[in-house]
Amino acid sequence: MNKKLLRNVIAGSYALALHIIIVFLLLVNFDSVPTRVAVPRTIDIVQATMVDEQYILDGIAQRQEQLEEKARLEKEVLDHKKEKLQIQQQKRKDAIEHEKKRIDKQKREANAKLKAIEKNKKAAELKKKKKENDEKKRANAAKKLKAEKEKKVAEKKKKVAEEKRRKQAEEKAKKAEAHQLLQDGLVTEMREKEAHRISGVVNKHIGMIGQRIRRYWIEPANATQGMECILRVILLSNGDVKKVSIVKSSGNANFDRSASSAVYKAAPWPHPGDPKVAAMFKDFKFVFRPQ
């Protein structure tokens, strides 16, 4: 405990000394630089403002004169334009009044014509109504005869339609049966595909397991070529190793131990990606063959 404290104090004093040195160096460097830069700048600024004031005062007087002249010229031009516009407007007003008078005349003539046409129309409508009444009476009698005939025809048609419906229902039932058969076929095919996919994932995962164990495996000194052992690995759901046991020993205890410790070291084991495959690899046996 005392030793630790002493170490801390020593390291702390080193750090403090380093900082003091650096701050000192910075202070020395910093002071000498900016004063040289700062002085000429202030002089520049003062000169610039002195010249500017006189120049600007002269410039402002000249400008104002110029502006006044311009304003006068512009006013004259504007007055001229205004007069022209007034004359034009007067002309337009006269033309518009003339046209208004003409339109009023035309309207009066048109009203007289419309009244004459309406009188003619009323007379024609009265005649039409009389004719329509006569025709309705005749049509009703004819309709009754027709309706009786149509009833008979409709009954015949109904019978034919019912037969047709029966036939269609039978056909539908047949089709549905065929469809069911096809679906069953598809389901089995899907299952086969799923099994195929799972076996692919499993093979990939087995390859990955072998590679991973080999990567973490440290070869014991007295291992010989061609040794192999069968391990039983139980994994937790987060990929950690719960237990490794040796199902079939290679005959060399060192080799077995190195293999099982490689399994521990390789934790956490990656998830295979498929929940079904993951369930298969919760508890599995594995042949460890280094070559």
Partner 1 sequence: MNADLSMITLVSEASFLVKLVMLSLLAISLYSWLLIFRKREELSQAKIDADSFEDKFWSGNELNKLYEDIASTPASSRGMEGIFEVGFKEFVRLKKSAPEPGQVLEGAQRVMRISLAREIDQLEMSLPFLATAGSISPYIGLFGTVWGIMNSFRALGNVQQATLAMVAPGIAEALIATAMGLFAAIPAVIAYNRYSHEVERLINRYDTFLEEFSSILQRQHD
Chain positions contacting partner 1, by CB under 8 A? 7-8, 10-12, 14-16, 18-19, 22, 26-27, 30-31, 34-35, 38, 41-42, 45, 218, 220-221, 253-254, 257-258, 261
User: What is the closest distance, in whole angstroms, from the C-beta atom of residue 204 to partner 1 in the complex?
Assistant: 29
Half-sphere exposure of 229 (CA within 13 A, CB side): 25
In the structure encoding, which two tokens stand for residue 165, read together?
């419906």
**Hey, which bits of 81-166 come out as E strands?**
none
Residue 62 phi, psi dihedral angles, 5° rounding: -60, -45
What is the CA 76 to chain-centroid distance, rounded?
A: 64
User: What is the closest distance, in whole angstroms, from the C-beta atom of residue 272 to partner 1 in the complex?
Assistant: 27
User: What is the closest distance, in whole angstroms, from the C-beta atom of residue 187 to partner 1 in the complex?
Assistant: 51
Q: b or e along 249-279 (b: 16 or more beta carbons within 10 Å of the residue's beta carbon)?
A: ebeeeebbebbbebbeebeebeebebeebbe
Residue 235 phi, psi dihedral angles, 5° rounding: -105, 150
Residue among 250 and 258 whose Cβ is closer to partner 1: 258
User: What is the closest distance, in whole angstroms, from the C-beta atom of residue 193 to partner 1 in the complex?
Assistant: 45
Residue among 36 and 131 whose Cβ is closer to partner 1: 36
User: What is the closest distance, in whole angstroms, from the C-beta atom of residue 203 to partner 1 in the complex?
Assistant: 31
Is the distance from CB of 285 to CB of 230 less than 8 angstroms? yes
Residue among 15 and 208 whose Cβ is closer to partner 1: 15
Residue among 48 and 95 whose Cβ is closer to partner 1: 48
Residue among 21 and 73 whose Cβ is closer to partner 1: 21
Residue among 250 and 277 whose Cβ is closer to partner 1: 250
Distance CA 98, CA 83 (A): 24
Distance CA 254, CA 223 (A): 8
Distance CA 42, CA 36 (A): 11
Q: Which amino acid is at 119?
A: K
User: What is the closest distance, in whole angstroms, from the C-beta atom of residue 289 to partner 1 in the complex?
Assistant: 20
Residues 6+ apart with CB under 8 A from 42: none
